[in-house]
Amino acid sequence: MVELTHKNHVPTPSKSRFIPSYRDVPKFVLRVANDLMDGGVKQSQIYHALANQMNGFENLPFLLKYMHNIVGKERCKEFNETDYRAMFEYFAKMKEANEDFFFSWRVDEVNKLMDVVWVDTRSRVAYMDFCDVVCFDATYITNHYELPFANFVGVNHHGQTILLGCALVRNEDTETYKLVMRERLECMGGVQPGGIITNQSVPMAKAIQQVLTNSRHRLCVWHILSMVPRKLLAAKKVGEVHKKMKDVVYDSLSIEEFECRWIELIRSFNFEGNEWLNSLWEERSRWVPAYVKDIFWAGMSTTQRVESIHHFFKGFMNAKTTLREFV
């Protein structure tokens, strides 16, 4: 007997990860899995680590048995040697045309590109005049290999944003950032910036502490405060908390005033045990305006200057852009 009436099951969106065609994997998940695989970590351990980052196995967009294929597909984007050799040939021509053009790179034991740093003559000259404050950012990704594009940005005497150096990095860790900063420091004759502004990043902070020993490091206050609604999502009246926190941070004219108002804020909303807020308190000397106003910052307190550089690139780049086209 044939049943001609088809009965649909109630849709269950949470089970979409079981459908092979529905696996839109976040890029950061693929990058973490890639790094752990390169480090020799077992797939089951990687899967558990990813589940912890995604707050549960049910939030992972794929099953353990599919992980190898999904990550393997992503690893097919490994560097094309011809592509990056063409990039270096372009750099060599730039160097031949002007000996002040600077570039350096690293490859690993299997000849895969790890990172590359370059600074053109215009940026080197500009840095000598405007090295008071530099913004360093490594959050922009627009190239075929999905390499984070790290860039150094400053401001000139007309208040205009200027590019002071570039890098493509494979790993966003302390050792990589140290190399990028050392290479750029060598290029600039050892002249360190008076101050450097970055987003909150432990590897980046460690690299700056070890390489730019004479530079004042400041964290982007806008970036930190923008995370309040997400970090305190479970809190009652999160909108009110966000508003009051901005008032405390921006309107405190002295260190003493900020500390008193901050402690009062924490107590009034019962945030004494909040780990994120406690970490901000520990780092307050690097992001609260009252602590950093003793030196010149060229009117900058955030890394938003970098956004104008990113906006410029978006007009020319896409996910298929090769390394040579990128530079």
List, for residues 85-123, the tens digit of each pLDDT value.
888 888 999 999 999 999 998 887 777 778 889 999 999
Token pair of 243 as six digits: 């508003």
pLDDT at position 214 is: 95
Same domain, 61 and 135: no
Residue 227: which residues within 8 A CB-CB, separation 6 or more?
A: none
Residue with tokens 């490091």: 217
Q: Is residue 291 part of a domain?
A: no
* 79 phi/psi in degrees, rounded to 5: -60, 130
169-214 per-position pLDDT tens digit: 888 889 999 999 999 999 999 999 999 999 888 999 999 999 999 9
CATH of the domain at 90: 3.30.420
Residue 4 confidence class, pLDDT cut points 50, 70, 90: low
Average pLDDT over residues 118-146: 84
pLDDT of residue 210: 96
When divided into structural domains, the chain yields a total of 3
Whether residue 156 sits in one domain with residue 115: yes
Is there a single domain that holds both residue 314 and residue 252? no
Rounded CA separation 89/305 (Å): 31
Listed residues 53, 75, 97: the one ending a domain: 75
State residue 49's pLDDT score.
Answer: 79
Angle at 252 between CA 249 and CA 255, to 5 degrees: 100
Same domain, 197 and 307: yes
Among 181, 130, 121, residue whose Cα is nearest residue 151: 181
Does the pLDDT value for residue 311 go beyond 80? no
- Each residue's pLDDT tens digit, 220-245: 999 899 999 888 877 778 889 999 99
Q: Are residues 305 and 210 in the same domain?
A: yes
Q: Are 73 and 67 in contact (CB under 8 A)?
A: no
* pLDDT value at residue 76: 43
Instruction: Give the tens place of pLDDT for each residue, 30-54.
Output: 777 766 765 667 777 777 877 777 7
How many CB atoms are located within 10 Å of the residue 271 CB? Answer: 15
User: What is the domain extent for residue 136?
Assistant: 81-219+298-326
7-16, 48-57, 112-121, 257-266: segment of lowest average pLDDT: 7-16
Q: Are residues 204 and 98 in the same domain?
A: yes
